[in-house]
Amino acid sequence: NAGVMQNPRHLVRRRGQEARLRCSPMKGHSHVYWYRQLPEEGLKFMVYLQKENIIDESGMPKERFSAEFPKEGPSILRIQQVVRGDSAAYFCASSPGPRDNSPLHFGNGTRLTVT
């Protein structure tokens, strides 16, 4: 499968625990984006990364949330000390080089439930 791979598909955490969401972009893509989606809401941009660099994190909460895209391995979205309001579907997308007409290719998402 050459598409964007996210894991796990479902993640359950108790309040106060940490959640780690992984994303492997499509082969040949070096740009990764994380979005959050709540029921009946649109996709909300969180963070945009290239290999080893955060390009835009304007949509990511300043506290408890962090993201990385190391030289080797998948991109990781990390949520520390989760709260009930963090329950959502988190989608990762990737794209190739910087062109205006490059669509984002999305993974199947990770559904985080905080109990």
What is the contact surface with another protein in residues (CB under 8 A)?
A: 4, 31, 33, 35, 40-45, 48, 56, 59, 91, 95, 97-109
Q: From the CB of 54, what's the least distance to another protein, in Å?
A: 12
When the beta carbons of 44 and 51 are compared against another protein, the nearer one is: 44
Strands 53-56 and 5-7: unpaired
Q: For residues 52, 57, 110 and 105, what is the CA-based torsion angle, rounded to 10 degrees?
A: -70
When the beta carbons of 65 and 91 are compared against another protein, the nearer one is: 91
Q: Which two tokens stand for residue 40?
A: 């009946």
Q: From the CB of 83, what's the least distance to another protein, in Å?
A: 23
Rounded to whole angstroms, the Cα distance separating 66 from 77 reads 6
